[in-house]
Structure 1
Amino acid sequence: MKASIYGDSGLEKYRSTILRRHEKYQLKVAELTSGSDNLSDAANGYLFYGLHAYPDKWVLREWAPNATAVYLMGDFNHWQIDLKYAFYPIPGGNWELELPLETLQHGMLFKLWVKWEDGAGERIPAYIRRVVQDDVSKIFSAQVWQPEPYVWKYDQPKEEIAPIIYEAHIGMSGEEENVATYNHFREKVLPYIADMGYNTIQLMAIQEHPYYGSFGYQVSNFFAPSSRFGTPEELKELIDTAHKLNIRVVLDIVHSHSVINEADGLSRFDGTFDLYFHSGERGTHSVWNSRCFDYGKSEVLAFLLSNCKYWLEEFKFDGFRFDGVTSMMYYDHGIGRDFTNYSMYYDGNQDDDAIVYLTLANKLIHEVNSQAFTIAEDVSGMPGLASSIKDLGIGFDYRMAMGIADFWVKILKDKTDEEWHVGDMFYELTNKRKEEKTISYVESHDQAMVGDKTLIFNLLDSLMYTDMNVFGRNPKVDRGLALHKIIRLATLATAGNGYLTFMGNEFGHPEWIDFPREGNDWSYKYARRQWSLLTDTNLRYRFLAEFEKEMLGLINKQDIFSFRPFAIIQSTPDQVLIFKRNNLVFIFNFNPVKSFTDYGFEVDKGQYKIVLNSDDSEFDGFDRVDDNYDYSTLSIKGKDVLRVYIPARTAFVLEKK
């Protein structure tokens, strides 16, 4: 009997479409590798293009098939267009320039002057690895970068563990109102991440971007780590130090689009609008005002695949979170669509070329480093996205469980506490495709941006500024802190295969993110993290951080992700949720006013002890439960039953001895 696609009989009617996509992928692999199936050898563009120093010369190569002439200009020739620095054409639409070693020196600035039939313009090389911005003019230039090579000291983590991810932005990782650096993050933030118990860091905004306020999602220079945070070697030292701490580092990679800029981006690089991108309306993203890659071009595939390999090989990143996957996979970018049935994944609105590229990228990444892993950000729920390529999937290791964050926002905004339905809650938290691994989160950077609200802001609003001191108790703040803890525990405890939080949200950072812009007088006040709140014993933020630390410590000791959560009790009238996962029993009382004495439920026979309790005073709770008490099952009518006291708005975890 023929197996169902992804183990889902509902997809059988779309088998031919899924097979066609997979066959297109196989044909593209054969084309790119000349039949060898070794995709890594076809992703070495970064070793050919761009600026390279050889023992006796410099060589610079660019792909610009529409250009009629290409010149190099910079500090070395007073920024003049000079025939002495003219490239010569070579096969494949490429241009090459050789220069004596003494011509260029480390630190020099340069650009290209590209001419075409009806125009010309300054351009930054597409594969350039170092771009810097002038402090006064704010203009970006390429920079000759030939320092002493960084010497790696530590191996990349090899153990396959569930990713507990700390999503972070280097620039806003400091408390000062400025742009923090790679060194600052390595020295000040990395030890905190390790101490808290996260085993993975997801770094945003690393690929160079002209506009700081884009959060790194308007990339101009795909091979250049952002110089506003420091040097490439300082980024390497950060990653190396993370590896020393057995922490993996994932790059938030942007291959879904590119900045629309021409002088410092890829747009109209050789005078044509469709060199890297689609022509016409399809080449511009109407909402993001950015350029959309043409994934059907082999040269574009080579560029993007080479970019993946570059970050793995040169910087030893341990994987990628692919941004904007939904936008890539659909001709309409998924804008304004609710994906309510399977037909919407196979109705002709899908960009098969983009889907093929994502499959190629996953093959390449795992080929280059078998321990690397990939995460897809997709709001559409495309089946097979996180299924293996051999099973006709697109090959991501994980997908972001994006609906969970939306669920928490919706329940907080639309329902009173008394209306929370724990059965619906358990369903939403555990509703995942069985064949796919997922990363759950309460809030990422999306929920922390101006225009949205973090969990703590949804819970406390202006009380964040007036009532977070330890000298008095406001019932609304007590509610907020209690729900902040148990919502995060419920999300982590039901997570499919991993968990994520954004920098600062774990301790209820009191302010949103707003990067410097014209509308806020270019202020950095909200583009930073106030770490000092954690050490201020007069404030209550530290309690949330301590709970997160203990929560992660418990999960890191227990192999819960190998076991699906099994609900024991889903009592809607009581608002009590109890479920089992491995040796742990998770008990939640979301009821805002009712505590329950001798609450009974059937469980495996034996003795149990509390190993985490949100109501402990060390987490700003009320100590209503004795953590030292040993709970033993009772035999009632032939069933093993545990009876416990469950205070209102409390969660605790029992471990079977």
Structure 2
Amino acid sequence: MAFYSPITDYDVYLFKEGTHTRLYRKLGAHLIEGGCHFAVWAPSAREVYVFGDFNGWDKFSYPMKRRPDPSGIWELFVPGVWKGCKYKYFVVGADGVGREKSDPFAFFCEQPPGNASIVWDLSYNWQDDKWMKERGRHIDYHAPVSIYEVHLGSWRRVPEDQNRSLHYWELAYWLGEYVKEMGFSHVEFLPIMEHPFYGSWGYQITNYFAPTSRYGTPQDLMYLIDSLHQRGIGVILDWVPSHFPTDEHGLAFFDGTHLYEYEDWRKRWHPDWKSFVFDYSKGEVRSFLLSSAHFWIDVYHADGLRVDAVASMLYLDYSRTEWVPNIYGGKENLEAIEFLRKLNETLYRDFPDIHTFAEESTAWPMVSKPTYMGGLGFGYKWNMGWMNDTLFYFSKDPIYRKYYHDKLTFSVWYAFSENFVLPLSHDEVVHGKGSLLGKMPKDDWQKFANLRLLFSYMYAFPGKKLLFMGGEFGQWREWDHNQSLDWHLLEYFPHRGVQRLVKDLNELYRKERALHELDCDPAGFEWVDFSDYEQSVISFLRKSKSGEMVLVVLNFTPVQRYNYRVGVPKGGLWLEVFNSDSELYGGANIGNMGRVMAEDVPFHGRQYSLSLTLPPLGAVFLKPAYDICPQG
């Protein structure tokens, strides 16, 4: 694919203004007839050289030329350079010190611990036309969006080959088949952009335009995404515009000045990650980040971006004891806020069929509302409040849960303030937090029943779904990025039961419009009873636009409940369409024999009611028999 086009005065204008979204067609290394064109931004550098395989790594034989405009860009055409050629820049900075730097716009990089950039082209024959034409309807607010979050290096490994990770092209088959079988609509990859430290899980990025070479070439990653698309599976990429590592070959102190990062150390240094913060006040830095975001959707056909650590961008005092207030004396980072708005405006302008997802952990208002309304413009926001309250509640011994009932019910009161995703993500199964199964209290029977109940509650609650790998089959061990998931656990029925439950929940979520169509609309939810804290039972209705409904009743104690009466709006036969205590999942088949007749007994303010048997630590979903419809 021919990307390169010469830099124009208009490019320079957009670059400096902070609105250029296609810099990857201008900067970096581009193979053209007879050789390669190199271009790098280093406005304060005294000299810049390009060197590599093509000149025996002689640092000084190819001096680059500064453009005769205010762009700060250095350029050079080098004849005879070939695809696969390794190279670096030698930047003599404003301080007179020469530093070897990777290309910030490199398309491919040497596998760590090496840090050379690699001349590469991005040609690929995509076969996902059908998906690309239809992908918008698979990720919109009315769609059954269920996301499988994956760390590519540890999803599955090859113990016979030095415990290596799978390559992109191997994942194309194995991951694609698994996700399709499990019924997830999308996968979300922890950052796959090149990062020097594997243990950062990809969150310390040095190269914002290069997929990590640990698992293969850029075309191998394209093949993975292409294969997933052909199976009807969308791809969301984790993206980190909030901070970057201080590795000498990377962006830090690039031209002998704090070029990409803030000058003031109180804004530049992030104590949580011991990394540098981008200087969002510079138009060129904003253009760099905007171009990176557009690159992964334009070139790699990503269907969405999950933006990491948004809260750390919004607040100048985030995790800091010393900080610099904004021009109005406040703690909001006005430059970062403007950047996030521009990011979303330009992405939705150019790719209206994708969505952006914000990991934002505070109560910042209107994160997923349009910018013209004063919002940040994201498509969705992770519901961190729901996640924290839910896991806190589930960690309690059921005998004490009645004292924490509000943790379970409070989330509904803000459930529609944003377009939410319910995340049970990688962050909840690391750093001593234990696995999801390990968080559950009491003996093994109760742990598995609680986990099945947790997933049932998540799929019933308003919001799109996200589950980190391993949770879907009840991994005991906390996630370790250096090891494969414990797939051998599927030899044991309780784990296979949890896996089957998640698969069936995905199918039910997709099939029943009442469970997904109004995930982001208060018209899709109605309480039946949230006040039965003594028995730790809640019940509610999920509804579709056309009036279809699903009744959800959840029993959070290990006590089987007979003749539990629940008010319903319709008479006649109700079918039990899901029961988390099914023997298929490792339960005891306690329930309602698949159906129950509504009685003309008013209850919960409704004309009819059902007398139900509630399984211990169980969930039952029911719907009126005449609402049953083919899968849509």
Q: For 1:107, which of 84, 104, 122 is the aligned residue? A: 84
Matched, 1:94 2:57: no
Alignment of 1:632-643 (within 5 A): 632-636=598-602, 639-643=607-611
Q: Deviations over 1:347-382 (max 9, x none)?
A: 710001000000000011111110110110011121
Q: How far apart, CA to CA, are the structure 2 residues paired with 1:216 and 1:620?
A: 36
Deviations 1:174-209 (A, max 9, x none): 143322221222111121111111111111121110
Question: Where does the alignment leave 5 or more consecutive residues of structure 2 unmatched?
Answer: 1-12, 544-548, 626-632
The answer to whether structure 1 residue 120 and structure 2 residue 101 are counterparts is no
Equivalent position of 1:653 in the other structure: 621
Distance in 1 of aligned mates of 2:559 and 2:404: 15
Deviates further, 238-247 or 636-645 = 636-645
Residue 489, structure 1, aligned to residue 456, structure 2: yes
| Paired letter, 1:451 | G
CA displacement, residues 394-416 of structure 1 (integer Å, 9 cap, x when unaligned)? 10011000122222332244555
Aligned length: 581
Out of 509, 517, 527, the position equivalent to 1:567 is: 527
Cα distance change of structure 1 residues 433 and 393 upon mapping to structure 2, 3 Å threshold: farther
RMSD: 2.4
1:366-445 counterparts in 2 under 5 A? 366-413=348-395, 416-420=398-402, 423-432=405-414, 434-441=416-423, 443-445=424-426
3-state DSSP of counterpart to 2:448: helix
1:576 aligns with 2:537: yes
Could you tell me whether the CA contact under 8 Å between 1:576 and 1:590 is conserved in 2?
A: yes
Q: Is the 8 A contact 2:15 2:287 kept in 1?
A: no
Amino acid at match of 1:99: V
Structure 2 partner of 1:184: 170
Q: AA paired with 1:73? A: F
Displacement of 1:574 in angstroms is: 1.8
Q: Distance in 1 between matches of 2:614 and 2:415?
A: 32
Alignment of 1:81-480 (within 5 A): 81-83=59-61, 85-90=62-67, 91=69, 92-100=71-79, 103-116=80-93, 117-133=95-111, 138-146=113-121, 149-154=124-129, 155-156=131-132, 157-159=135-137, 160=140, 161-176=143-158, 177-263=163-249, 265-333=250-318, 348-413=330-395, 416-420=398-402, 423-432=405-414, 434-441=416-423, 443-459=424-440, 476-480=443-447
Q: What amino acid is aligned across from residue 89 of structure 2 in structure 1?
A: L
Distance in 1, matches of 2:264 and 2:125, equals 41
Note if contact 2:261-2:268 (Cα within 8 Å) is conserved in structure 1.
Answer: no
Instruction: State the SS of the aligned residue for 1:328.
Output: helix
Q: Deviations over 1:569-606 (max 9, x none)?
A: 22111211111112100011112235222534343223
Pair 243,262 (structure 1): closer, same or farther in 2 beyond 3 Å: same
Question: For the residues of structure 2 that align with 1:409 and 1:70, how far apart are their CA atoms?
Answer: 53
Select 1:64's aligned residue among 42, 46, 60.
Answer: 42
Deviations 1:593-638 (A, max 9, x none): 3522253434322321011111111111111224333433334599
- Equivalent residue, structure 1, for 2:8: none
In 2, Cα distance between the equivalents of 1:174 and 1:595? 41
| 1:552 CA displacement | 1.3
Partners of 2:388 and 2:49 lie apart in 1 by 51
Q: For residues 494 and 485 of structure 2, what CA distance do their matches in structure 1 show?
A: 16
In 1: Cα distance, 2:115 partner to 2:399 partner: 52
User: Which residue of structure 1 aligns with residue 9 of structure 2?
Assistant: none
Structure 2 match to 1:505: 471
Which of 554, 565, 576 in structure 1 is aligned with 2:508?
554
The answer as to whether partners of 1:87 and 1:96 remain within 8 angstroms in 2 is yes
Question: What residue number does 1:465 align with?
Answer: none
Deviations 1:502-530 (A, max 9, x none): 01111111221234xxxxxxxx3xx3212
1:74 aligned residue (52, 56, 62): 52
Gaps of at least 5 residues in structure 1 are 1-30, 338-343, 461-474, 516-523
Cα offset for 1:65? 0.8
Inter-CA distance 630–597: structure 2 relative to 1 (3 Å threshold): closer
In structure 2, relative to structure 1, the CA distance for the partners of 1:62 and 1:379 (3 Å cut) is same
Q: Match of 2:402, as an amino acid?
A: W
Amino acid at match of 1:202: E
Provide the rounded CA distance (Å) in 1 between the counterparts of 2:599 and 2:99: 78
Contact 1:568 1:579 survives alignment (8 Å): yes
1:459 CA displacement: 2.0
- The alignment-based identity, stated in percent, is 27
- Secondary structure class of the residue paired with 2:581: coil
| Cα distance in 2 for residues equivalent to 1:33 and 1:78 | 33
Q: 1:424 to 1:302 in 2, by over 3 A?
A: same
SS of residue matched to 2:116 = strand
The 1:193/1:95 distance shift into structure 2, 3 A limit, reads same
The alignment partner of 2:336 has SS state of: helix
Counterpart code for 1:588: L
- Change in CA separation of 1:153 and 1:404 when aligned onto 2, cut-off 3 Å: closer
Question: 1:623 maps to which residue?
Answer: 589
Change (3 A) 1:296 1:148: closer
User: 1:32: how far off?
Assistant: 4.7
Q: Which has the higher mean CA deviation after the structures are superposed, 637-646 or 247-256?
A: 637-646
- The Cα of 1:639 is off from its aligned counterpart by 2.3
1:38-67 Cα deviation digits (max 9, x unpaired): x98x21111100001223442100000111
CA distance in 1, matches of 2:285, 2:379: 24
TM-score with structure 1 setting the length:
0.84
- Mapped contact 1:256–1:292 kept (Cα < 8 A): yes
- Specify the code of the residue in structure 2 equivalent to 1:98: F
State the SS of the aligned residue for 1:82: coil
CA contact (8 A) 2:260 2:278 kept: no
Partner Cα distance (2:561, 2:404) in 1 = 16
2:497 equivalent among 518, 543, 567: 543
Q: 1:333 to 1:440 in 2, by over 3 A?
A: same
Distance in 2, Cα, partners of 1:636 & 1:298: 64
Residue pair 1:607, 1:633 contacting (<8 A) in 2 also: no
Residue identity matched to 1:320: L
Q: Distance in 2 between matches of 1:590 and 1:457?
A: 17
Distance 1:112 1:165, change over 3 A: same
TM-fit CA distance, 1:149? 3.2
Question: Residues of 1 paired with 2:295 and 2:99: CA distance?
Answer: 28
Letter in 2 for 1:449: V
After superposing the two structures, state which structure 1 stretch, 431-440 or 273-282, moved more: 273-282
Q: TM-score, normalised by structure 2?
A: 0.87
CA distance, structure 2, for counterparts of residue 262 and residue 253 of structure 1 = 22
Q: Secondary structure of the equivalent of 1:105?
A: coil
**Would the alpha carbon gap of residues 336 and 385 (structure 1) be closer, same or farther in structure 2, given more than 3 Å must change?**
farther
Shift of 1:315: 0.3
Equivalent-residue separation in structure 2 for 1:393 and 1:433 (angstroms): 17
AA at the equivalent of 1:355: I
- Higher mean displacement: 647-656 or 300-309: 647-656
Letter in 1 for 2:54: F
Provide closer, same or farther for how the CA distance between residues 354 and 34 of structure 1 changes in structure 2, counting only shifts above 3 A.
closer
CA distance in 1, matches of 2:404, 2:562: 16
Query: In structure 2, how many angstroms separate the alpha carbons of the residues matched to 1:656 and 1:34?
Result: 60
Q: Structure 2 counterpart of 1:109, which letter?
A: K
Asked if 1 retains the 8 angstrom alpha-carbon contact of 2:384 and 2:422, the reply is yes
- Closer, same or farther: CA 311–380 of 1 in aligned 2, 3 Å: same
Name 2:3's counterpart in structure 1. none
